[in-house]
Amino acid sequence: MSDSKHKITDTELIENIPATETIQTVADAMKQLGDPSRLRIFWLLCHCEECVINIAAATDMTSPAVSHHLRLLKSAGLIISRRDGKEMYYRAADTEIVLKLHHTIEDIARISCPQ
């Protein structure tokens, strides 16, 4: 949005168009979060680290369905995983885009982080 004191010219606007790679990163993340199940899983993982079985129980989904969504979220760089014995644990990635998406989701849905 432009400042009312300074009208942005077409040239300034064109010179500041984000790079294709930057826009692609944002588009990929938003595409993955366009699915309600992935959005719920992502929101959950912004607040805790969990394994597939616990995520499935929390979201009332099957473990294979959760695993599918986790693969997509991970490929978009939104979540990370770690192995502990035979179990894989997932949590939101510690990146600027993840933090902004997390806060945007909560702002739009008018929900807040659990205390």
Q: Where are the domains of the chain?
A: 32-109
Q: Are 65 and 40 in contact (CB under 8 A)?
A: no
Alpha-carbon Rg for the chain, nearest whole angstrom, is 17
Average the pLDDT over 55-77 and give the result: 97
CB neighbourhood size of 74 (10 A): 15
pLDDT digits (tens, 9 = 90+) for 18-65: 899 988 988 888 999 999 999 999 999 999 999 999 999 999 999 999
What is the per-residue pLDDT for 35? 95
Average the pLDDT over 89-98 and give the result: 96
The rounded distance, in Å, linking the Cα atoms of 19 and 44 is: 31
What is the per-residue pLDDT for 4? 53
Residue type, 43: W
What is the per-residue pLDDT for 34? 92
Residue range 32-109 in CATH 1.10.10.10: yes
What is the per-residue pLDDT for 25? 86
